[in-house]
Amino acid sequence: MNLLPKARFVLAALMIAGFSMAAAAQPADAAWPRPEDVPVPSSPVPGIAGERPYDIVRFLLTHGPMSVALSPDGESVAYRSVITGYPQLFVMPARGGWPVQLTFGPAVTSFAWAPDSRHLLYAADRDGDEREGYVLISADGTRERRVSDAGDAFVVFGDFSPDGRRIAYSSTERNGTDFDVFVRDLDTGRAQEVLRGRFGMFAGAWQPGGDWLLLSETRGEDANDLHLLNVASGEVRALFAPDDASFYGSFAWLADGSGFYLSTNHGREYRALGHVELATGELTLLQAPDRDVEQVALFDGDRYLAWTENADGYSTLHVLERATGRPVAAPELPQGVYDLEGARSGPRLAVRVSGPRTPGEVWLWNPRETQAVRVLEPTLAGIDPDVLVVPESHRFEARDGVMLQGLLYRPPGLAEGVRPPLMLLVHGGPTAQARPGFDMVAQYLTGRGFAVFDLNFRGSTGFGKSFARLDNGRKRPEAVRDVEDAVTWLTEHAGIDPARMAIMGGSYGGYLTNAAVVEFPGLFRAAVSLVGVSDWVRALEEASPALKASDRLEYGDIDDPGDRAYFADISPIGRIRRARTPMVVVHGANDPRDPVSESDRLVRGLRDQEVEVRYLRFADEGHHVRKLGNQVTQYREIAEFLERQLEAPR
């Protein structure tokens, strides 16, 4: 049940919905009989600046640019921001200047520049249901045209045609399950099915000056097969579908359409920088380090090729001049996680940085200059950046010898010999990675006296193809045991108080939280489960189409009697009688990935066992709680609960 997106077109983009500044109560859900479980949004008013520890509202009001995109001509930077409450679309001059807000309606979930640099396409769903509608808007925000309404189908945008007159996308409108590929004429509104798909078939980058469209076919959570579709003739060419499932993503076409660069772990453990020649389909690996190559970008008329590498979670930037093959000295940037966007026709590379002390900022770099310029700064909402904790990376062995890794945030100002309480964070995915970006939850908790350990259990990405598959299928319980092994290491080697530990996770991390509660009764004094799986059979049956396309390989075929019996056996709901850990359970009623019935059943089971549980069942949220008033309620309840259960200092 993947919490995070893969490549731009492998799964739908991470949805960011908005919030309401009003503090009125949400409408009660008629399907749930206890209205006291439907929370009332809290007023987002922070405490006085400088008061310690900082109130959660200050962390929620921190923000930086999201989903940054440089216009093809390199003159403008577009990004999403929550500065107004809802995520909205903004555009600013690339040279720096005042941003212009373009959208003022529902939360913008994703966007893309048109080739003319004068228009953008943006998407919005309905309170987190992930069924997007699309709108074309001028770059000055004065003209909009609706391209498609949000409906019952899941729609995933692919790319603009080179002339900007058409878009390619994938949709489940035919049967609600399989993704077919469409091309829509933006002038006439006419949509034509160009390929009938099965399970997950996603439109990707369109060949410059040509008719070839890259297609990604889902193959588990960490891999995909790659095809080419000629939108004019309907011809389909299989590029890569190896026996050893591999990843292909972050595509950058050459301007002449002769080939493209990409990130891939084809034939190897880690993702390399590669090039595919269109005429022959030949793949050449250009940079193959023992760590993942992630972002790939071309800029300045293809003169420069840039990419990032994942060095123990931190991004490193690399650039070379294509004509000579010579490396170009990259600019000095803050430590963190990077996203790249190159200008097609200008010498500009945009880098979005998210780090332990920045919720997001944008740097622009001209390779003819030595230094990058920060053109968009973050807002820290009055928080002193010096109090934000930079995590320590630690590696340790699980009981079976598998090497695990995690990020440890230590609370500042601990007296010698004091053993702090612990919050163990388990990320979603499972094909995702705990990385040193801006982690609002970790920073908030360390400020209140907790140590936080963000665990990369087996199944996480960033540590090679084999590691990402160590929990596939019937190996699922081994990731649960990693939780116990992490606790053992933390108490023996990191000075954590073994009597005051909690666990928290969302989506797949919510499953690990639920599983830990029933598998290790008494290990944790508190648990927080966010949109977590409690019944694998029901969750796999009711998952959204994009997830079902990957779940078959990541988990198994739920229609197979053997797989079905196995997942029924390992589901936490079947062992709920073992639970005795007090819990906070959070879920959005509109969740299309992991249905709210998962948490409904868990809460009923806990209450039947007379286990303390606080249920936050948000009526107007989906797979993530995104509205500010709801977030304030959620984290204030969680903080009060943890401090009471673990007796942490305030």
Cα 484–chain centre separation:
25
pLDDT for residue 170 is more than 90: yes
List the beta strands (DSSP E) in 207-301: 212-218, 224-230, 236-240, 248-253, 259-264, 272-277, 283-287, 293-299
- Mean of the pLDDT values across residues 596-620? 94
Residue with tokens 């549980």: 613
Query: Domain 255-379, what fold?
Result: Neuraminidase (2.120.10)
SS3 366: coil
Residue 194's CB: how many other CB atoms inside 10 A? Answer: 20
Nearby residues of 560 by Cβ (< 8 Å), 6 or more positions away: none
- Mean of the pLDDT values across residues 256-275? 97
> Tell me, what's the pLDDT at 498?
92
What's the DSSP call for residue 379? B
**H or E element that contains 630:** helix 628-646
Looking at per-residue confidence, does 16 or 122 come out higher? Answer: 122
pLDDT for residue 620 is more than 80: yes
Nearby residues of 313 by Cβ (< 8 Å), 6 or more positions away: 337, 393, 407, 433, 434, 435, 436, 462
- Mean of the pLDDT values across residues 603-631? 91
- Mean of the pLDDT values across residues 273-277? 98
pLDDT for residue 556 is more than 60: yes
Strands 314-321 and 304-311 turn out to be antiparallel
CA distance 530 to 427: 11
**Max intra-chain CA distance, the chain:** 72
CA distance 173 to 186: 19
CA distance 100 to 98: 7
Greatest mean pLDDT among 375-384, 587-596, 618-627 lies in: 375-384
> Tell me, what's the pLDDT at 18?
26
CA distance 455 to 457: 6
Query: What are the φ and ψ backbone dihedral angles of 606, each rounded to 5 degrees?
Result: -65, -45
Tell the burial category of 26 from Cβ atoms under 10 Å away from its Cβ (0-12, 13-18, 19+): buried
35-59+385-646 shares its CATH topology with 255-379 = no
Looking at per-residue confidence, does 13 or 538 come out higher? Answer: 538
Q: Which two tokens stand for residue 384?
A: 């002193």
Q: Which two tokens stand for residue 211?
A: 């008719």
What's the DSSP call for residue 91? E
* Length of the chain counted residue by residue: 650
**H or E element that contains 231:** none
Q: Report the chain's terminal Cα–Cα distance, integer Å.
A: 35
Instruction: Sort residue 127 into left (φ over 0), alpha (ψ -120 to 50) or beta.
Output: left
Is there a contact between 350 and 360 (Cβ–Cβ < 8 Å)? Answer: no
What are the extents of the domains in the chain?
A: 35-59+385-646, 65-150, 152-245, 255-379
Query: Mean pLDDT across the chain, nearest whole number?
Result: 89
Q: Which parts of 449-544 fold into alpha helices (H)? A: 465-468, 476-493, 508-519, 536-542
What's domain 35-59+385-646's superfamily in CATH? Alpha/Beta hydrolase fold, catalytic domain (3.40.50.1820)
Calculate what percentage of the chain has a pLDDT beyond 90: 68
pLDDT in tens, 385-420: 999 999 999 999 999 999 999 999 999 888 888 899
**Which of these ranges, 60-74, 202-216, 548-562, has the smallest mean pLDDT?**
548-562
> Tell me, what's the pLDDT at 548?
54
- Mean of the pLDDT values across residues 279-294? 97
> Tell me, what's the pLDDT at 22?
27
